[in-house]
Amino acid sequence: MSWQEQYRGRVVLISGASLGIGKELARQVWVNGGMVIATGRNAQRLDEAAQLICRGSDEDARRRFLVVAGDVSKSEDCRAAVDSGLHAFGRIDYLIHNAAVFHFDRIDSASEQVIDQMIDVNVKGCIHLTRAALPALRDSHGGILFVSSISAFYGMPEYGLYALSKAALTPLSESLRLENHAHGVFVGLTYLGYTANEPDKRAINAQGVPQPIPERPRTFTRTREAAARGILRQLIRRQSVALPSFLGHINWVFSYLMPRFAFLIHKRSYRSILWPLTVSLLGLGLPLSVQAQDRAVELTVRVGGLKSTGPSHLVIGLFDRASFPDGRPLQHATIHVDEPRMHWRISVPVATYAIAVYQDLNRNGRLDKSTFGFPTEPYGFSRNYRPLYRGPMWKDAALQVDRDAAIDIHLIAPER
C-alpha cells in the first residue's frame, strides 16, 4: 500500500488549513480518502477552502471535511476543535501544527502586542492544541507533526521573533516525543525551506497590521504541493525529523558546524532577501554582490499619473539588486491615495536601488494582471523604465543614491 493510501479512513486535524500549505495538506488528505478537521480564525476563508477542495463531490465525501473556526492561541478554541472532530469522526489519528503568523522586522521595532502574538500563536498555539488532542492521539496511537522552518537554525536579521518561535518547536517536539513514546504516539518535526506563498498570505507589521508579502523569487522555492506531500509522507513513515530543502542543509551545516562563519555571512548579507542564496554562493566561493553601507541619506519618491476613480492604495517598494523585481523589498509602504500626486520619504544607506510602484485600485494587495501577464493596474519603475517585450531588469531601473535625492515616477496606464 502506498503512503498516500494509508490516509484512507484516517482523521487528521490540521491547524491553519484555510490557506497556503495547510490548505494543500487538507486537500491531499481528503483526496486520499482521509477525514479532515480544518481550523483557522477566518470562518469564511475556511468555508471557501472546503468548498474549493470538495467541489463536485457527493454528500458522503463532503462529510469527510469538517471546518472548525478558532484561534490556536486560545486553549478553549483548541479544545472545541478537538471535541468537534471527535464528535464528527469518533477519533483523531494525526495532528499537524501548521498555523503560524509571520512578522519580518527588527526586534526593537515590534510592539509588545506583536511579540505576544508571535509567541501566543506560533508556540503556545502548538502547546494548547497538543494538550487538547493528546488523549485522543494516545487512544489511536497516532502522530503529531510540527511545521518548523530553516530559520530556526540561525536567527536571521528581521526574522528574530519568527525564528525564535520556530526554534522553540524543536525542544517542544523532542520532549513530547520522549514523553509519549511509551503511549505509541509519534512526534515529528519538519524544517521547511522557502515555499511558494498564496497571494492572500500576509505578514504582520510592527503594529500587528497584516501586510501583503511580495512575490518570492522562484529560485529555491518549493511548491506547496511538494511541501505538503513531504509532510504527509513523513507523518506516515514516522520519521522524527525532516529537512527537505537544499538550503536547509547548507544553513544547518553553517549554523551548527561553522557558527562563526554563519555569523559573518548573515552579517554581510543583512538586507538581502536572498540570504540563503548568498549563503550558498559564498559556500561556492563566489563574491557577494550586496554590501551594506553606513551613511544614511534621504530619498523622496514622487509618484504622478495616479488614477482617481475611488479609494485606492499606492504600493511602493525599494529594492536592491538581489531582490529586484520579484523579491522582498528592503523597504515598502502602502499609502492611501488622496491626491493625484503622492510622495514617499525614507532614509536609506548610500547604495544603488531600484523602485517599483503600482496603484492598487481594488485594494486587494497585489498588482492585478491579465491572462497574458500584463498589468491591469497603473504601475511604474525608477528611471521611468517602460517595459516593452520583457519585464524590468536591474539595469533598467537601478539608480545610485549617494546624497539626499528626489526621484519622479510617472505611472504607466495599463493597456486596455
Ligand X SMILES: NC(=O)c1ccc[n+]([C@@H]2O[C@H](COP(=O)([O-])OP(=O)(O)OC[C@H]3O[C@@H](n4cnc5c(N)ncnc54)[C@H](OP(=O)(O)O)[C@@H]3O)[C@@H](O)[C@H]2O)c1
Note whether 86 binds ligand X by CB under 6 A. Answer: no
| Contact residue for ligand X among 16, 142, 217, 414 (CB under 6 A) | 16
Residue 224 in contact with residue 193, Cβ under 8 Å? no
The rounded distance, in Å, linking the Cα atoms of 89 and 91 is 6
Q: Which stretch binds ligand X (CB under 6 A): 37-45, 250-258, 337-345, 389-397?
A: 37-45
Note whether 95 binds ligand X by CB under 6 A. Answer: no
Note whether 18 binds ligand X by CB under 6 A. Answer: yes
Q: Which amino acid is at 86?
A: L
3-state secondary structure of 16: coil
Task: Please count the other Cβ atoms lying within 10 Å of the Cβ belonging to residue 51.
Answer: 12
Residue 95 in contact with residue 140, Cβ under 8 Å? no
Note whether 198 binds ligand X by CB under 6 A. Answer: yes
Specify the residue, 40 or 160, whose C-beta has the smaller distance to ligand X: 40
E-strand stretches of 104-233: 143-149, 186-192, 202-204, 210-212
Note whether 41 binds ligand X by CB under 6 A. Answer: yes
Q: Which residue has the cell 476543535?
A: 81
Note whether 40 binds ligand X by CB under 6 A. Answer: yes
The rounded distance, in Å, linking the Cα atoms of 179 and 273 is 39
Note whether 26 binds ligand X by CB under 6 A. Answer: no
Note whether 149 binds ligand X by CB under 6 A. Answer: yes
Note whether 323 binds ligand X by CB under 6 A. Answer: no
Cell numbers at residue 360, please? 492598487
Query: In angstroms, what is the minimal distance from the CB of 47 to ligand X?
Result: 11
E-strand stretches of 58-173: 65-69, 94-97, 143-149
Note whether 147 binds ligand X by CB under 6 A. Answer: yes
CA dist 352 to 289, 317, 318, 358, 394, Å? 11, 14, 10, 21, 10
Residue count (the chain): 416
Cell numbers at residue 174, please? 523532542
Note whether 121 binds ligand X by CB under 6 A. Answer: yes
- Comparing CA positions, the residue from 278, 317, 228 lying closest to residue 7 is 228
Catalytic residue among 162, 191, 353, 379: 162
Note whether 337 binds ligand X by CB under 6 A. Answer: no
Note whether 231 binds ligand X by CB under 6 A. Answer: no
Residue 152 in contact with residue 169, Cβ under 8 Å? yes
Specify the residue, 28 or 149, whose C-beta has the smaller distance to ligand X: 149
Q: Which stretch binds ligand X (CB under 6 A): 4-12, 67-75, 128-136, 389-397?
A: 67-75
The rounded distance, in Å, linking the Cα atoms of 376 and 318 is 22
Query: In angstroms, what is the minimal distance from the CB of 100 to ligand X?
Result: 3
Give 348's strand partners. 297
Cell numbers at residue 71, please? 484561534
Cα atoms found within 13 Å of the Cα of residue 332, Cβ hemisphere only? 28
Note whether 42 binds ligand X by CB under 6 A. Answer: yes
Q: Which stretch binds ligand X (CB under 6 A): 195-203, 322-330, 347-355, 408-416?
A: 195-203
Query: In angstroms, what is the minimal distance from the CB of 24 to ligand X?
Result: 8
Query: In angstroms, what is the minimal distance from the CB of 13 to ligand X?
Result: 12
CA dist 71 to 43, 79, 186, 200, 271, Å? 11, 11, 25, 18, 33
Cell numbers at residue 361, please? 485600485
Query: In angstroms, what is the minimal distance from the CB of 216 to ligand X?
Result: 7
Query: In angstroms, what is the minimal distance from the CB of 301 to ligand X?
Result: 29
Note whether 22 binds ligand X by CB under 6 A. Answer: yes
Note whether 366 binds ligand X by CB under 6 A. Answer: no
Cell numbers at residue 340, please? 493625484
Note whether 301 binds ligand X by CB under 6 A. Answer: no
Specify the residue, 201 or 233, whose C-beta has the smaller distance to ligand X: 201
Cell numbers at residue 114, please? 506583536
| Contact residue for ligand X among 11, 50, 95, 100 (CB under 6 A) | 100
Note whether 98 binds ligand X by CB under 6 A. Answer: yes
For the question of residue 162 being annotated catalytic, the response is: yes
Q: Which stretch binds ligand X (CB under 6 A): 65-73, 137-145, 248-256, 279-287?
A: 65-73
Cell numbers at residue 90, please? 469518533
Binding site for ligand X (CB under 6 A): 15-16, 18-22, 39-42, 45, 71-73, 98-101, 121, 125, 147, 149, 192, 194-195, 197-198, 201
Catalytically active residues, by annotation: 162
